[in-house]
Structure formats: structure tokens, C-alpha cells
């Protein structure tokens, strides 16, 4: 059940800066693995919870914002955000019914060319090695991925560190699955790290079962599926 001081709303671009920070906090290990960032925070004399992101970290947030913006444009109905009483995002879920529309928008909408230009200008803080590593990882993942029967996917789910333990992850998952049911989806899949029992518990609560494994350069993934007709 969604806590009283939160509500789930549709994606809006005004939420992008906070959503990018939530994403990086939730997937920090992966972000650091695929970039050369080592100092994620600037060391100052202030308390640890008030430290400023490093310049390189801020550039990574720019990259994440652009990616999330593209998702919001292509999958707007499936991009749900949990906001608090101050309209501040504290979590999100992205559910998709296919990736073809994403690639079409990225290419024919001119996004890839804009991203390339911003990368060349140093806007993202990513080296050529970083980009090559990401591309190689995608190829590696496809080679070791499991071919399931699902026709939709939970692409990303994250909750801010300060809002965890309040049921937001489960509420967002339920809202995302309700949306997929409404558009006629019968089976949905997702990938989750084996060392993330909290996320696995949420997914199992909503009917997901492990159907196989996938692998990328960073680590293994469990592939889980749920039958939405049950």
C-alpha cells in the first residue's frame, strides 16, 4: 500500500534532475563499473550527508537525465514517479511493451546525433574507453541473455535511499503491472542482480519467478517473469 504522504504520477521533465540522482544512487556499482569515475563525492569539511557531487559525477547525471528523458518521451504512460508531499521524486518505475519504438525514436528523432555531439563536447564526462565498454557489454549481454516469452519488461525500478523501507518499491511495481494489464500485456519479465534480495522479494510478492540467468561484464542477472493473467 502506498504511504499517505506519497502519490504516483506520470513522468514530467521537471523531475529529471532528481530522477537521475535516484538512478545513480540505486545503481552506483554499475555506474562506477562502466565509467572511470572514482571520486563520486567531493570531500569537504561539511558532514558526509551534505557533500557535493564531484564535477565528473555531475556530468554523469547529465547523461542519465538525457537517457531518462528519452524513456519519458517514448514510454510516457509506462514511466511512473512516486513523489512526496513536496512534489519531490522519491522513486520511479519504467515499464515497456517493446524496444523497437525506443530505437526508432532514438535514431529518427535525432537523439543519437545529439547525444554524440554532447559526448564529444565533454558534456557527459565519459571517455572513449567508457563508451566502448558500454557497447561491448551490450553485445556480451545479448550473447548470454535468456530468450523468454514475455511481451513486456520492467526496464528500471529505483527508490531514493531516504525513502526506502516504506513500501514505495512494491507500490510502484504494482502500479506498473496494472498499467501493463490495462494495455493487454499477459506476461512481463525483468532482470535483477542475485545479490539484491530486497528487490527479488518485491518481485516475488508480485508473482515473478526466476526462469533463467543472463550475464554481462559486471555480473550475473536473474531473469524473472510473471503471468499477468493469474
Q: What is the per-residue pLDDT across 60-113, written as a single tens digit (0 to 9) for each?
A: 788 889 889 988 988 889 999 999 999 999 999 999 887 666 667 766 777 777
pLDDT-derived band at 136 (thresholds 50, 70, 90) equals very low
Tell me the sheet residues that pair with 209: 225
pLDDT-derived band at 160 (thresholds 50, 70, 90) equals very high
What domains lie within the chain, and their CATH numbers?
7-227 (3.40.630.30)
Indicate the average pLDDT of the chain. Answer: 79
Q: Residue 41 has what DSSP assignment?
A: B
Dist. CA 94–CA 42, nearest whole Å: 31
Which pLDDT score, from 0 to 100, does residue 133 have?
Answer: 52
Dist. CA 17–CA 11, nearest whole Å: 12
pLDDT-derived band at 227 (thresholds 50, 70, 90) equals very high
- pLDDT at residue 141 is higher than 80: no
Dist. CA 145–CA 159, nearest whole Å: 26
- Contact between 23 and 157 under an 8 Å Cβ cutoff? The reply is no
pLDDT over 70 percentage in the chain: 70
Cut 0.85: pTM above it:
no
Higher pLDDT, 107 or 22: 22
Which pLDDT score, from 0 to 100, does residue 59 have?
Answer: 73
pLDDT over 90 percentage in the chain: 42
- pLDDT at residue 149 is higher than 60: yes
Dist. CA 226–CA 230, nearest whole Å: 9
Dist. CA 80–CA 177, nearest whole Å: 11
pLDDT-derived band at 46 (thresholds 50, 70, 90) equals very low
Amino acid at each position: 500500500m502506498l504511504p499517505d504522504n506519497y502519490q504516483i504520477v506520470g513522468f514530467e521533465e521537471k523531475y529529471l534532475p532528481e530522477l537521475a540522482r535516484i538512478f545513480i544512487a540505486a545503481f552506483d556499482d554499475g555506474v562506477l563499473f562502466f565509467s572511470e569515475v572514482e571520486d563520486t563525492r567531493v570531500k569537504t569539511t561539511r558532514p558526509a550527508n551534505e557533500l557535493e557531487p564531484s564535477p565528473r559525477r555531475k556530468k554523469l547525471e547529465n547523461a542519465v537525465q538525457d537517457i531518462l528523458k528519452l524513456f519519458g518521451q517514448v514510454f510516457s504512460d509506462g514511466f511512473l514517479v512516486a513523489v512526496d508531499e513536496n512534489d519531490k521524486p522519491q522513486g520511479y518505475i519504467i515499464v515497456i511493451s517493446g524496444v523497437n519504438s525506443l530505437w526508432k525514436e532514438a535514431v529518427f528523432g535525432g537523439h543519437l546525433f545529439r547525444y554524440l555531439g554532447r559526448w564529444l563536447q565533454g558534456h557527459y564526462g565519459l571517455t572513449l574507453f567508457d563508451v566502448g565498454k558500454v557497447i561491448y557489454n551490450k553485445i556480451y549481454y545479448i550473447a548470454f541473455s535468456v530468450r523468454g516469452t514475455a511481451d513486456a519488461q520492467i526496464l528500471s525500478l529505483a527508490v531514493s535511499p531516504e525513502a526506502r523501507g516504506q513500501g514505495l518499491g512494491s507500490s510502484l511495481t504494482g502500479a506498473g503491472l496494472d498499467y501493463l494489464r490495462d494495455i493487454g500485456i499477459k506476461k512481463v519479465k525483468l532482470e535483477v542482480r542475485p545479490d539484491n534480495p530486497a528487490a527479488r522479494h518485491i518481485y516475488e510478492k508480485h508473482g515473478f519467478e526466476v526462469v533463467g540467468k543472463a550475464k554481462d561484464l559486471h555480473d550475473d542477472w536473474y531473469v524473472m517473469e510473471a503471468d499477468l493473467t493469474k
